A and B are shown apart, each in its own frame.
Chain A
Amino acid sequence: MAATIGPGALEIEPASLATEFLPMEANITLTGSAQTDAITFDISGIEINDLNGDGLGWKLTASPQALYHELDGSTLPVGTVSGFANPSDAIHSTIASPNQLIYTSGSGIAQYSVDYRLSYTIPITASAGDYNGVVVFNIVAQ
């Protein structure tokens, strides 16, 4: 008998980001003043699988976008980005910057997890209402 098992993927597990993320704050209200970092999102448990067998590590980057008002298109700018934290394999993880994490082991890994946190600022002229936005995560071998 003979069998060939091909490599798997280097991937961000889609299910780990499938949920719509809501702010940590229960109530967010206009005050007439700018509210720095008033809205914080904790994106916990971003899951990575490195099964491509290339013997390399990988680099995960995050690109947060502004939040957009559903009706009038006004925006809430990105505030403080605490960024990546709490990697499940801290020994092989280097947080190069808040928006970049480097995994140095090339031996492959399944269900690696890391958290990401960022805040948004409410300008003095912000509108009340519903806002939406995204953080785009990208992973590449290195």
Chain B
Amino acid sequence: MNKLKSLVTVITILSAGSIAHAGLNETATLSATISAGGLEIVTASVTGPHAANGGAPVALTGSLQSDALEFNLDGITINDLNGDGAGWTLSATPAANLTNGPDNLPLGTTGGFNNPSDSINTTVDSANQITYSSGAGVVGYTVDYDVAYDVPALVAAGAYSGTVQFVLAAN
């Protein structure tokens, strides 16, 4: 009889232990890593072609027409997602001439960078360079760039083209 009582006790204890193990609330732990993005000029913001003078026609006059072809490249967009804690420098190099085969229209006045979307952290170092001093990162920063070309007195009529190269570098 003593042995039987002992066996019942053991079974009861095991059962109680099982109930204590019950998990009415359990937690799944999630972990993810997001990598830094790039320091970039948004390509679509500079893709042309860009028309001079908003597309208005320009005619030969027989005289030099200084800055007769003005290009306004508005909304050049920068994303700084590289997480390096540094700012960046944007520089521009306009073509020395617009060309049409052997004919050239020389570079005129470069109005350069203007109208930055974050003027507090932006320094216009020169017409062709700005420095962004914040390392906190930025998305959708925009700035405009203006450049003009001359029309010489004697030049062939026709379609001229050229480029402005923009370079973005971390500070």
Contacts and interface: CB of A to CB of B under 8 A. Distances in A.
A76 B33 CA distance: 11
A39 interface: yes
B79 interface: yes
Contacts of A120: 32
B15 to A, nearest CB: 3
Contacts of A138: 24-25
Interface in A91-142: 116, 120, 122, 124-140
Interface residues of A, number: 53
Interface of A: 1-14, 17, 20-23, 27-32, 39, 41, 43, 46, 51-52, 67, 76, 116, 120, 122, 124-140
B32 A5 contact: no
A12 B24 contact: yes
B169 to A, nearest CB: 18
A29 B12 contact: no
A11 B29 contact: no
A12 B34 contact: no
Q: Which of B25, B79, B83 has most chain A Cβ within 10 Å?
A: B25
A46 B139 CA distance: 40
A129 to B, nearest CB: 6
A9 B37 contact: no
A140 B24 CA distance: 7
B11 A3 contact: yes
Contacts of B56: none
B57 interface: no
A23 B16 CA distance: 38
Contacts of B83: 30, 127-128
A7 B11 contact: no
A131 to B, nearest CB: 5
Nearest to A139: B24
Contacts of B22: 9-11, 52
